[in-house]
Amino acid sequence: MSIVIENVGKTFIDSKKNEVTALKNINFAIQQEEFVVLVGPSGCGKSTLLNIVGGLLSPTSGSVYFEGIEENPDLGIVFQEIALFPWRTVFENVVYGLQEKGISKKEQQKIGNHYIDMVGLSDFKDAYPKQLSGGMKQRAGIARALAVEPDLLLMDEPFSALDAQTRTLMQEELLTIWNRTKLSTLYVTHNIEEAVYLADRVIVLSRHPGQIKQIINIDLPKTGRNDEKYRLQSSKYADEIWQLIRHDAEEALKE
């Protein structure tokens, strides 16, 4: 699915009745089968933009078009804190969206098992969330988002609560899954290395107001990006992005 974000702006009214322009004049497109990552310092409007694309917030100005129309498609959304239902097993959580859609039990079994298998949780399908590690919970959340077979995947810092090693493994796993599903994806992160590892394109936002500072094409293959031979190129991209963000990140620290 292709998505066009046209002149999107968002102004909030804060608790002191001041206007906060979180986003201004945001224009970009996500092509079919494209993985786009939003990066920027704290408070630049990354989550606001993702929520607007997801239809959870409405923009103050501008529009979002999905294949040319302003109607939200089926979405898979994964947030930092995966809200699994504690009283449901992994399988029951994963098929929740399918139940809501009235899909037959037989199909639920087939689709649920397929995605649980894809995220490597087959041995835990009858486990409850409290029995899972942080990484497993995120995997279950990803399986749940994929199970509705969405047209667009939205991910807001899905791995930021994980330890560094688990995070690296989950990034690799996400790319493997992505290579199978090829879903158009919008992904938010603070982590520049993560952005370079995952993205086809990185959109760098500046803050106050949140605007697009630069869009960087990551010209690396989608498999084997961690290979030694791509290290230098990856770190060049990471440096380039950090130079774009650095000043704003320093300013954000002062607030």
Ligand X SMILES: Nc1ncnc2c1ncn2[C@@H]1O[C@H](COP(=O)(O)OP(=O)(O)OP(=O)(O)O)[C@@H](O)[C@H]1O
Least CB distance to ligand X at residue 176 (A): 27
Nearer to ligand X, 20 or 56 (CB): 20
Least CB distance to ligand X at residue 175 (A): 23
Nearer to ligand X, 30 or 121 (CB): 30
Least CB distance to ligand X at residue 38 (A): 8
Over the Cα atoms of the chain, what is R_g?
19
Outline where 54-129 has alpha helix (H).
90-94, 96-100, 105-118
Nearer to ligand X, 117 or 250 (CB): 250
DSSP state of 123: G
Nearer to ligand X, 190 or 222 (CB): 190
Rounded to an integer, what distance in angstroms lies between the CA atom of residue 75 and that of residue 107?
A: 19
Least CB distance to ligand X at residue 199 (A): 17
The pairing of beta strand 35-39 with beta strand 19-30: unpaired
Angle at which helix 164-181 crosses helix 134-147, to 10 degrees, equals 20
Asked if residue 63 lies in contact with residue 8, where contact means CB atoms within 8 angstroms, the answer is yes
Rounded to an integer, what distance in angstroms lies between the CA atom of residue 96 and that of residue 112?
A: 9
Rounded to an integer, what distance in angstroms lies between the CA atom of residue 212 and that of residue 192?
A: 16
- Please state whether the peptide bond connecting residue 86 to the residue before it is cis, i.e. omega within 30 degrees of 0: no
Least CB distance to ligand X at residue 200 (A): 21
Task: Please report, as ranges, the residues that interact with ligand X according to CB under 6 A.
Answer: 12, 14, 20, 22, 40, 42-48, 190
Least CB distance to ligand X at residue 43 (A): 4
CA angle 220, 226, 230 (to 5 degrees): 50
Nearer to ligand X, 191 or 233 (CB): 191
Nearer to ligand X, 88 or 201 (CB): 201
